[in-house]
């Protein structure tokens, strides 16, 4: 290779190769960080014409120099075989940047890719992406050796929330300045994929502000560690053991060696579903109600928001807007995106493996004409429980909503409209937060049902919150076990371990404690508000839903802070919060005598 030839020609290079590699990496990171700061400053603050010209020239010089550094790094500092893909990635990216922007500087105009790379939004986005690429190369766990995985998970989300709040306070992010508490509330709601708002997203935030919110939703939906680790695969090539271990726990992957491939599947799956959702939403919109640009922005925003179960909308009335609330195809498309996002990545990957095996079996039998037997147990018990519980909640929720609201909020709709609205209203409380009915019109029994659905939430390792469907299922299985007088839980010819049942009840109990404390203190601070509305807002925040009965924007600063904490706790998960403070159990060589306690 080129590196071996250089080493043979220059003993000095061979001797100082590691130092040069480190110097090149540090130089690229520092330059990328400076460009990132300038891009944020350029995006968030107004610039004079002369200063803007200097900034644009800086971008061109930066991209040309960074391209040269990428090319040099790919040629000189990648010699391992398993890093060849990383070297090629650096070489291709560096070659494009170097060639395009060097010619642009020399000729004074775009040369290869026309004006696309020279548009201001592309300049800024490219500078941010290049910084993310370099940031993802660092082993962050080396700098945070004392944090266990749950603590690192919380720190990463907390850092994104605080950074997002600062970004949303920039002058060009809003049409009118907002307070830090409102920016923090919006950032928390976006990162925790809740959808609770205290200011109108459509009118209070500019195009840049909405882009920041959408980026926070995407990061919150798939997780910042998942996002940066994915880029690290292409720009670093390797992962430390601790990186793999933490991702293994986060992704619930049983095999440590397959974490990298699971990560790729998740990212590609997210992109695929959101792109398909965007296309379907775009063509489902009424041409007369939206311009082409509005349809595109609406499609992108709501595809990401729906899949991530966020509930944010770039319309003032959300999906209750008169132009979309009666659009039956749109309601089903949004519902499917919410359901897929809320199933959880382990379930989706398990179903994918099952479908792939089915197709492979069909191909072997029909094309190659010889028998291919699928191994048993492809659909694991976790997937079965999640799918059946989700189906039960969707059907039961839709039926109850239709029955309770037939002559109330559904009055005047066609039968097809009532069915679509009932189904959508059963899907969205499960952590999505969109509404297509007037929330002030729904009856008290319906509110109680929605509170129940918000509390249950989505499934584990998904884009949603709540106590999770598996926790709810474990509680029911345990109830039936007690009623039948059994000493263990058997489901689908499998015995459920006692630890899973204990964790389920711990999650339920702890969630009730958090919600009770939050509701209690908000009622003390807001005695003029209805207790039912306060409880509704707290369950919505903890379940990362975002549905509201209209009181959140009117709450005091202290009450908003309580809702911020509830959103954060709900997104982190009860077990994650408990594990932050739990130390390693000490083994004891003895046991105390057992005794009984009177329960009833």
Enumerate helices (H) and strands (E) in the chain, giving the number of each: 25, 2
How do residues 173-194 score in pLDDT, each as one tens digit?
888 888 899 999 999 988 888 8
Q: Are 32 and 66 in contact (CB under 8 A)?
A: yes
In angstroms, how far is CA 455 from the centroid of its own chain?
Answer: 19
331: pLDDT strictly greater than 70: yes
Domain ranges of the chain: 1-137, 378-581
What is the predicted pLDDT for the residue at 510?
Answer: 87
- Per-residue DSSP letters for 94-155? HHHHHHHHHHHHHHSS--SSTTGGGSHHHHHHHHHHHHHHHHHHS-HHHH-TT--HHHHHHH
How do residues 364-412 score in pLDDT, each as one tens digit?
776 666 665 555 567 888 888 899 999 999 999 999 999 998 888 888 8
Nearest CA to 466 out of 531, 354, 546, 346 is that of 546
Q: 481 pLDDT band (50/70/90 cuts)? A: confident
Instruction: For the chain, give the percent of residues with pLDDT over 90.
Output: 16
What is the predicted pLDDT for the residue at 82?
Answer: 47
- Encoded tokens for 498: 């006692």
Alpha-carbon span 217 to 226, nearest angstrom: 14
In angstroms, how far is CA 155 from the centroid of its own chain?
Answer: 16
How do residues 423-476 score in pLDDT, each as one tens digit?
999 999 887 888 888 888 888 899 999 999 999 988 887 777 788 888 888 888
Which of 110-124, 476-490, 509-523 has the lowest average pLDDT?
110-124
Mean pLDDT highest for which of 305-309, 330-334, 454-458, 486-490? 330-334
- Encoded tokens for 343: 């199933």
Which of 168-177, 242-251, 359-368 has the lowest average pLDDT?
242-251
How much is the average pLDDT of 16-42? 81
DSSP 3-state of 559: helix
Alpha-carbon span 435 to 456, nearest angstrom: 18
φ, ψ (nearest 5 deg) of residue 114:
55, -140
β-partners of residue 496 are: 489
Which value, to the nearest 10 degrees, does the dihedral of the CA atoms of residues 246, 249, 250, 255 take? 100
Q: Are 495 and 487 in contact (CB under 8 A)?
A: no
575: pLDDT strictly greater than 50: yes
What is the predicted pLDDT for the residue at 372?
Answer: 56
How much is the average pLDDT of 5-32? 69
CA end-to-end span of the chain: 77
Query: Looking at residue 545, what DSSP letter applies?
Result: -
What is the predicted pLDDT for the residue at 396?
Answer: 93
What is the predicted pLDDT for the residue at 373?
Answer: 55
197: pLDDT strictly greater than 90: no
Instruction: Look over the chain and give the mean of its residue pLDDT values, rounded to a whole number.
Output: 80
φ, ψ (nearest 5 deg) of residue 98:
-65, -50
Q: 81 pLDDT band (50/70/90 cuts)? A: very low
Instruction: Please list, in sequence order, all residues whose beta carbon lies within 8 angstroms of the beta carbon of residue 547, skipping any fewer than 6 positions away.
Output: 195, 311, 428, 429, 433, 435, 439, 450, 454, 536, 540
What is the predicted pLDDT for the residue at 430?
Answer: 80
Nearest CA to 287 out of 339, 316, 327 is that of 327
Alpha-carbon span 280 to 300, nearest angstrom: 11
Looking at per-residue pLDDT, the higher value among 458 and 90 belongs to 458
Rounded alpha-carbon distances, angstroms, from residue 534 to 16, 142, 372, 458, 576: 65, 43, 58, 22, 26
φ, ψ (nearest 5 deg) of residue 496:
-80, 130
159: pLDDT strictly greater than 80: yes
What is the predicted pLDDT for the residue at 395?
Answer: 93
What is the predicted pLDDT for the residue at 536?
Answer: 92
Alpha-helix runs per DSSP H in 285-380: 292-307, 328-343, 345-366
Q: 522 pLDDT band (50/70/90 cuts)? A: very high
Query: Looking at residue 585, what DSSP letter applies?
Result: P
Q: Are 434 and 319 in contact (CB under 8 A)?
A: yes
What is the predicted pLDDT for the residue at 394?
Answer: 92
Query: Looking at residue 489, what DSSP letter applies?
Result: E
How much is the average pLDDT of 17-24? 72
How do residues 95-139 score in pLDDT, each as one tens digit?
888 877 777 777 666 555 556 666 777 778 888 888 877 777 666
Q: Are 195 and 546 in contact (CB under 8 A)?
A: yes
- Encoded tokens for 104: 């642009």
Instruction: Please list, in sequence order, all residues whose beta carbon lies within 8 angstroms of the beta carbon of residue 502, skipping any fewer than 6 positions away.
Output: none
Looking at per-residue pLDDT, the higher value among 260 and 481 belongs to 481
- How large is the greatest C-alpha to C-alpha distance in the chain, in angstroms? 87
């Amino acid at each position: 290779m080129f590196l071996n030839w250089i080493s043979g020609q220059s003993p000095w290079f061979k001797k100082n190769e590691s130092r040069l590699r480190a110097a090149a990496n540090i130089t690229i990171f520092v330059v990328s960080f400076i460009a990132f700061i300038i891009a944020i400053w350029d995006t968030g603050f107004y610039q004079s014409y002369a200063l803007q010209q200097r900034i644009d020239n800086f971008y061109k010089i930066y991209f040309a120099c960074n391209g040269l550094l990428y090319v040099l790094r790919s040629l000189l500092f990648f010699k391992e075989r398993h890093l060849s893909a990383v070297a090629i990635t650096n070489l291709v990216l560096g070659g494009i940047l170097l060639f395009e922007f060097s010619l642009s500087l020399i000729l004074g105009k775009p040369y290869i890719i026309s004006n696309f790379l020279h548009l201001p939004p592309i300049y800024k986005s490219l500078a941010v992406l290049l910084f993310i690429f370099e940031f993802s190369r660092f082993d962050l766990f080396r700098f945070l050796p004392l944090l266990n995985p749950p603590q690192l998970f919380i720190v990463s989300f907390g850092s994104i929330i605080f950074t997002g709040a600062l970004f949303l306070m920039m002058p060009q992010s809003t049409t009118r300045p907002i307070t830090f508490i409102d920016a923090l509330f919006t950032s928390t709601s976006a990162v925790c994929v809740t959808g609770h708002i205290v200011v109108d997203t459509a009118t209070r935030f500019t195009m840049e502000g909405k882009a920041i919110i959408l980026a926070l939703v995407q990061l919150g939906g798939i997780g910042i560690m998942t996002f940066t680790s994915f880029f690290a695969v292409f720009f670093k090539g390797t992962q430390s053991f601790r990186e793999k271990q933490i991702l293994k726990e986060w992704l619930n992957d049983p095999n440590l060696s397959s974490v990298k491939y699971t990560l790729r599947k998740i990212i590609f799956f997210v992109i695929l579903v959101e792109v398909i959702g965007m296309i379907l939403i775009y063509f489902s919109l009424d041409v007369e109600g939206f311009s082409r640009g509005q349809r595109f922005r609406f499609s992108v925003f709501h595809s990401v928001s729906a899949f991530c179960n966020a509930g944010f909308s770039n319309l003032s009335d959300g999906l209750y807007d008169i132009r979309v609330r009666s659009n039956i195809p749109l309601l089903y498309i949004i519902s499917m995106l919410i359901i897929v996002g809320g199933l959880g990545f382990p379930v989706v990957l398990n179903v994918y493996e099952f479908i792939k095996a089915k197709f492979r079996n069909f191909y072997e039998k029909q094309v190659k004409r010889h028998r291919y037997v699928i191994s048993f147990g492809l659909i694991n018990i976790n997937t079965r429980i999640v799918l059946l519980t989700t189906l039960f909640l969707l059907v039961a929720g839709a039926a109850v909503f239709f029955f309770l609201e037939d002559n109330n909020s559904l009055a005047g709709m066609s039968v097809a409209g009532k069915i679509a609205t009932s189904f959508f209203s059963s899907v969205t409380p499960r952590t999505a937060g969109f509404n297509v009915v007037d929330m002030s019109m729904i009856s008290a029994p319906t509110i109680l049902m929605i509170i129940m659905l918000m509390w249950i939430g989505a499934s584990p390792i998904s884009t949603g919150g709540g106590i999770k469907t598996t926790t709810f299922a474990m509680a029911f299985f345990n109830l039936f076990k007690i009623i039948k007088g059994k000493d263990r839980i058997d489901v689908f010819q499998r015995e459920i371990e006692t630890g899973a049942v204990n964790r389920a009840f711990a999650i339920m109990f702890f969630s009730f404690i958090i919600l009770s404390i939050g509701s209690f203190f908000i009622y003390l601070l807001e005695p003029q508000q209805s207790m039912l509305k306060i409880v509704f807002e707290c369950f919505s925040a903890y379940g990362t839903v975002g549905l509201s009965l209209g009181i959140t924007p009117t709450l005091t600063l202290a009450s908003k802070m309580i809702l911020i904490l509830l959103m954060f706790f709900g997104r982190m998960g009860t077990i994650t919060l408990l594990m932050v403070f739990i130390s390693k159990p000490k083994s004891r060589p003895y046991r105390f005598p057992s005794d009984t306690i009177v329960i009833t």
